[in-house]
Structure formats: C-alpha cells, structure tokens
A = this chain, B = another copy of it.
Amino acid sequence: MPKRRFLIVCHDADTDGCFNLDDLPGSGGRIDVAARCVVAGLLISYGVRKDAEILLFFQRGPRPGLTIRISGDRVKYLNPDERSTAALIRNAILKHKNAGVLESSPGVQVFRSDLETLLKTGRNVYYLKEDGIPAENFVFPEDEILFLLGDHRDLTADEESIVMKYARAKLNLSPLSLYSEHCITIIHNILDRKFSGSPVPENRN
C-alpha cells in the first residue's frame, strides 16, 4: 500500500490569508478548490487516510510559494465541509511569519518553497493530466507516490516543463476534464481497489 501524496498547484489562491469564509471562490481566489482537494485527499467516512498527505502550493499574492502540508497521520480538526477546511487553511496562512516551517495546528505545516523543491521530495511523481496514459491499468510503485495536479486552471507551460523533469508519467483518469478534487477521489479509488486488503483507517480526531 503506497503512501499517497498530492501536490496541488493553486494558481489564484491568495497568500495574505485575508479571504472571507463567506466568499471562498471570489475573495479566496478559489480557495474552495483547495479545501475540497484536502477533503478528497484525506477523509473517508468516519476516518482519516493515515497514509495520505496534501501539499497546497500557493502562487499568488504577497508570499508566492507559500505551501501548506496536511498530513493524514497527524491532522486534527479537519471536517468534510468546505468552510471549516478553508478556515484551517486560513489559520495556517495567517500564523506563518515567513520563518521556516511552522505547525499551525496538529498535522498542518506551513512553509515557503518552490515547485521544483517540492517535486524533489517525491520518490515517484505522476502528473494527472487529460493527455496522459490511462491510470486504471497502470502498475504503480508500492512505496510512495506523489501525484501532481492543477487547480481549476491548467499548469502553465513553464510549470509543466518543471513537472515533466520529475514526472515518471502523465496519467489520465477520464475521457472528460474533471475537477481536481474529483481526480483525487478517483486515483484514491484506483489504489484502494488495487491494494485492497489494507486495514481500515483508524477513527479521526
């Protein structure tokens, strides 16, 4: 059962943390997408995926490169709704004062990085993209996988050229173009079925 990590390139999400929880798509620069990716990546019914990790890589605003890492094996206070997940993200952004790695709440770390540095942490990087090869027939490594995907916007050509230096393959999940959070749900399901027989994750919180 490979550890599953998801790196989401958030193009518009702002890094000043001043967004309004009542208007996540607008004031938050589509922070709603980031929140849904966190939930899809880490939560199942009455449990947390202990073997999963989300990396939100924020591009815009005063602190481009701000990165939030949420680890399934340690996260607390994560619920399935968008608003409370966005509040957890906002808390991380607001607490970070530009210095090193801060743990803003249990299992939520915030730091600054760049795309290449983040990709170098991935032992087996796969890029989820419409023009990839079908993921459902793919033979995945069994130790650790880092899936990279965009948010509501595709990667830029520059971003893609960095990613392709590290990606072992581009993987396609559907004949349709899907939301990022739905891609995460589908790739989890492929791996859950492929590596079934695993223990059920423990209860959360």
Q: Report how far A43 CA is from B205 CA in the complex, Å.
A: 23
CB atoms of A45 and B152 under 8 A apart:
yes
CB atoms of A178 and B82 under 8 A apart:
no
CB atoms of B179 and A44 under 8 A apart:
yes
Distance between A185 CB and nearest chain B CB, rounded to angstroms: 5
Of the listed stretches A8-16, A55-63, A188-196, chain B binds A188-196
> In this assembly, does A182 line the interface, its C-beta being within 8 Å of a C-beta of chain B?
yes
CB atoms of B192 and A174 under 8 A apart:
yes
Closest partner residue, chain B, to A39 (CB atom): B179
Q: Report how far A22 CA is from B82 CA in the complex, Å.
A: 11
Known contacts A186-B189, A194-B205; A45/B177 CB under 8 A = yes
> In this assembly, does A107 line the interface, its C-beta being within 8 Å of a C-beta of chain B?
no
Distance between A22 CB and nearest chain B CB, rounded to angstroms: 7
Q: Which residues of B contact A176 (CB under 8 A)?
A: 44-45, 47, 192, 200-201
> In this assembly, does A141 line the interface, its C-beta being within 8 Å of a C-beta of chain B?
no
> In this assembly, does A197 line the interface, its C-beta being within 8 Å of a C-beta of chain B?
yes
| Size bracket of the A interface | 35 or more
Q: Which of B24, B43, B175, B185 contacts A193 (CB 8 A)?
A: B175
> In this assembly, does A144 line the interface, its C-beta being within 8 Å of a C-beta of chain B?
no
Closest partner residue, chain B, to A79 (CB atom): B25
Within 8 A of B (CB), among A30-79: 32-33, 36, 40, 43-47, 79
Closest partner residue, chain B, to A46 (CB atom): B177
Q: Report how far A109 CA is from B84 CA in the complex, Å.
A: 29
Given A32-B82, A81-B82, A175-B192, 13 further pairs, Cβ under 8 A:
A24-B83, A25-B79, A25-B81, A44-B179, A45-B179, A134-B199, A137-B199, A174-B189, A176-B192, A185-B185, A194-B204, A195-B205, A196-B205
Q: Would you list the 10 A-B pairs with minimal beta carbon distance, nearest first?
A: A175-B196, A45-B177, A82-B82, A32-B81, A136-B201, A182-B185, A185-B185, A194-B205, A193-B204, A186-B189
